[in-house]
Structure 1
Amino acid sequence: MSSSKTPRKHFSMLREFHLADFFTLGNAACGVAAVFLAMLYMHSQSLAHFYLAAAMAPAAFLFDVLDGRIARWRQQHSSLGRELDSLADVISFGVAPAALGFAAGLTGGWDWVAMIYFVCCGVSRLARYNVTAETLSEGSDKVAYFEGTPIPTSVLITGILAWLASNGQIGATLFGGAWMIGPWELHPVALVFALSGTLMISKTLHIPKL
């Protein structure tokens, strides 16, 4: 009896999804594809795979914009949608850019620290946003401003990495070279991740939400 009820529960969960939520899943799918393509590039060394991985970021951003607009158009805001959006953003704009950075040659110990810091800042920023969204909306159905830069701004990082790839400045010829600091290596490009993470968790930086 219990096994026959299980599929019904799955279908019941799907019925709770709104149209906007499926666009959010599109965002997550792009992020996962970016990670796979970054790994595929490391195996094949084909720049086509690297460029496709980078292209997943603007595709994910498009899905991210559309899911918000569709939710407002259909007036279908929910806690499920907000949590789903944050989880998708962590993959597409946190883990995926870090994976692309690693594939581009950011493999030093300090590079790891910078990119892990970046992802952790992104997770923290999204968690803080979910907790404070109701306060920041000031009684309306829309948040008035962001505290810190939104995590989708990491699209700029993937753009930088794609530009470096087009100029032959990734891998062994990564732009800026490498510095030995103590026992580990640091590539200056990794500092872009550290800067992005710091801006995301800033509480003094207020950015109006359009």
Structure 2
Amino acid sequence: MQRAAPRHFSMLRGFHLADFFTLGNAACGVGAVFFAMAFMASEALFHFFAAAALAPAAFAFDVLDGRIARARHQHSPLGRELDSLSDVISFGVAPAALAFAAGLQGGWDVAALIYFVCCGVSRLARYNVTAEQLSGGGDKVKYFEGTPIPTSVVLTGVLAYAAWQGRIGDALYGGAFDLGPWQLHPLALLFVLSGSLMISSTVRIPKL
């Protein structure tokens, strides 16, 4: 009697080529989080820059998976969910982890970073729910409601530039203020702005 194939192999057989590029995106995000933690332990700038460098790498994988899926006509609900989960890691959790490692560790800073990640999760959930409606029955969404979460690559770039200038830790741009019971670094407001733009329903960006 023939034995059934292990379930994990069955799942992999259901993956398309684009899905493996999506997993590359997720791998970059996880690697960035690990490097951010390594920087906090070692204070070696190499770890910080390695974490920052994985953001554009994740972005490249994110672009390629979409192009490959369209070229091969291999869109699937699984691919869409993989893409969203990977984006949450690479463009939500990873930038927040890097910002925390850079010195945004005050109470208000942490609240801002949590808000940023939650906005990213909410934006991707809304996109998944409304993708079919926004595509007008076609395979491709015509525009984004709110800024796409990969735009957080800009925030990672700001942090990398700050590290290159030696402006992380106690020397962060804008300094720090005691506001009530917690400390706030004005730089954290960039994450609040980014998150707010992601969940905005009035901002519409054509998808190229």
Letter in 1 for 2:191: F
Q: Distance in 1 between matches of 2:22 and 2:117?
A: 19
Residue 140 of structure 1 and its aligned partner are, at CA, apart by 1.0
The answer to whether the aligner puts 1:159 opposite 2:157 as a matched pair is yes
Q: Distance in 1 between matches of 2:6 and 2:43?
A: 45
The correspondence of residues 24-173 of structure 1 with structure 2, limited to 5 A, is: 24-173=22-171
Q: Distance in 2 between matches of 1:41 and 1:100?
A: 9
Residue 10 of structure 1 and its aligned partner are, at CA, apart by 1.1
Identity %: 74
Task: Pick the aligned partner of 1:186 from 184, 188, 191.
Answer: 184
Measured against aligned partners, the alpha-carbon deviations of 1:20-58 in whole angstroms (never above 9, x if no partner) come to: 000000000000000000000011111111000000100
Residue 8 of structure 1 and its aligned partner are, at CA, apart by 1.7
Aligned to 1:22: 20
Measured against aligned partners, the alpha-carbon deviations of 1:50-86 in whole angstroms (never above 9, x if no partner) come to: 0000001000000000000000010000000000000
Letter in 1 for 2:186: P
Task: Pick the aligned partner of 1:200 from 187, 190, 198.
Answer: 198
Structure 1 unmatched ranges of 5 or more: none
Q: Distance in 1 between matches of 2:123 and 2:172?
A: 29
How many residues align? The count is 207
Root-mean-square deviation over aligned CA pairs: 1.1
Letter in 2 for 1:189: L
Q: Distance in 2 between matches of 1:7 and 1:201?
A: 43
Q: Distance in 1 between matches of 2:204 and 2:162?
A: 30
Q: Distance in 1 between matches of 2:170 and 2:107?
A: 16
TM-score by length of 2: 0.98
Q: Distance in 2 between matches of 1:165 and 1:59?
A: 19
Q: Distance in 1 between matches of 2:47 and 2:8?
A: 35
TM-score by length of 1: 0.97
The 1:59–1:183 alpha-carbon spacing in structure 2 relative to 1, beyond 3 Å, is same
Structure 2 unmatched ranges of 5 or more: none
Measured against aligned partners, the alpha-carbon deviations of 1:74-110 in whole angstroms (never above 9, x if no partner) come to: 0000000000000000000000000000000000000
SS at match of 2:139: coil
Measured against aligned partners, the alpha-carbon deviations of 1:106-155 in whole angstroms (never above 9, x if no partner) come to: 00000001000000000000000000000000011100000000000000
SS at match of 1:207: strand
